[in-house]
């Protein structure tokens, strides 16, 4: 890498790594909740871990791409760096699309666990939403990599060939965008109907969880796939971690109370 120009200072790179850190914290809290508090490891947690793995792989590709100048003007890069930046950028997009689709499947798996006694038709509808959205995302990811002949021309314009699939990718995008928006809306509204029936949650908790799930609708307004990926992941992790935050609050309150009691008793802390 002879060119010192990198994309490490680009807004998308900084923001998405902050989101990655938040996602890691929430995943850790969710794992602790499942293994230590509720002592239940369901398919939703497994899917969440797989989603996070794809998310991290996507971020690694984005980081390597940024080292070659991803996110900076092509005119400031050497030909080799421009080619490598595009290559890792496209791989990053491919992995991010998979993570976005898997994130919604993990969210549906969690909702399905909450509503296991609901009618089969309702559960089938949810799984159809998640499954079809995942298929649409996978199709979009594959179409990106087969749009050029030879495939290498996608990231190296110097290679002889052509890209007849670009129009196909653009046309499919007109389908993917609205359908993803519909899926996000359905996954935002449906949990409201579920949480109101869950007796274990107080009214403020039900309202808070419904609002959090509704944040998924913002994903379609985001221009960066990386941020959309982490928004979907973070939203899917928040409801299952409520038990962890209640546990952490009780533990902290208990320790503070114990310290205050010792101080008042004249003992050394």
Please report the DSSP string for 135-181 in residue order. Answer: HHHHHHHHHHHTSSBSGGGGT-TTSS-B-TTHHHHHHHHHHHHHHHH
Residue 267 lies in a domain: no
Q: Using the Cα atoms of residue 109, residue 112, residue 113 and residue 114 in order, give the sign of their dihedral.
A: positive
* Residue at 95 is within a domain: yes
Six token digits for residue 239? 């409801």
* Residue 34 confidence (pLDDT): 86
Mean of pLDDT values over 186-212? 65
The pLDDT of residue 262 is: 67
Q: What is the mean pLDDT of residues 113-142?
A: 85
pLDDT greater than 50 at residue 183: yes
Q: Please give the pLDDT value at position 2.
A: 46
Reported for 116-125, long-range contacts at CB under 8 A and 24+ positions apart, including other chains, are: 118/194
Q: Quote the pLDDT of residue 198.
A: 61
- Residue 253 located in a structural domain: no
Please give the residue range of the domain that contains residue 205.
11-237
* Better-predicted residue by pLDDT, 261 or 126: 126
Tell me the chain's radius of gyration from C-alpha atoms: 22
**Does residue 256 belong to any structural domain of this protein?**
no
Comparing 213 with 65, which gets the higher pLDDT?
Answer: 65
Angle at which helices 225-237 and 79-114 cross, to 10°: 20
- Of the pLDDT bands very low, low, confident and very high (cuts 50, 70, 90), residue 236 is confident
Whether 254 is covered by a domain: the verdict is: no
Count: domains in the chain: 1
Q: Is residue 20, in this structure, part of any structural domain at all?
A: yes
Task: Decide if 159 is inside a domain.
Answer: yes
Residue 241 pLDDT grade (very low, low, confident, very high; cuts 50, 70, 90) = confident
Domain membership flag for residue 121: yes
* Its pTM surpasses 0.85: no
Alpha helices in the chain (DSSP H): 11-32, 43-67, 79-114, 120-145, 166-195, 203-214, 225-237, 242-265
Q: Is 174 exposed, middle or buried (0-12, 13-18, 19+ CB in 10 A)?
A: exposed
Q: What is the mean pLDDT of the chain?
A: 80
């Amino acid at each position: 890498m002879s060119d010192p120009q990198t994309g490490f200072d680009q807004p998308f790179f900084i923001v998405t790594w902050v989101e990655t850190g938040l996602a890691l914290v929430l995943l850790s809290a969710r794992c602790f909740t499942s293994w230590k508090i509720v002592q239940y490891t369901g398919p939703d947690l497994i899917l969440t871990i797989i989603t996070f793995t794809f998310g991290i792989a996507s971020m690694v590709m984005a980081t390597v791409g940024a080292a070659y100048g991803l996110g900076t003007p092509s005119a400031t890069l050497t030909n080799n760096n421009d080619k490598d930046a595009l290559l890792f950028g496209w791989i990053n997009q491919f992995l991010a699309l998979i993570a976005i689709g898997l994130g919604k499947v993990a969210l549906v798996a969690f909702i399905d666990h909450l509503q296991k006694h609901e009618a089969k038709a309702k559960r089938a509808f949810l799984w159809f939403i998640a499954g079809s959205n995942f298929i649409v995302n996978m199709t979009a990811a594959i179409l990106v990599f087969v749009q050029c002949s030879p495939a290498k021309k996608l990231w190296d314009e110097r290679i002889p060939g052509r890209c007849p699939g670009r129009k196909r990718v653009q046309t499919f995008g007109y389908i993917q965008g609205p359908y993803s928006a519909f899926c996000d809306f359905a996954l935002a509204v449906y949990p409201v109907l579920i949480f109101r029936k869950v007796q274990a949650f107080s009214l403020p908790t039900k309202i808070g969880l419904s609002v959090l799930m509704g944040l998924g609708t913002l994903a379609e307004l985001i221009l960066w796939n990386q941020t959309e990926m982490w928004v979907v992941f973070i939203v899917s992790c928040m409801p299952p971690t409520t038990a962890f935050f209640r546990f952490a609050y009780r533990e902290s309150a208990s320790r503070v109370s114990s310290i205050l009691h010792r101080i008042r008793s004249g003992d050394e802390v």
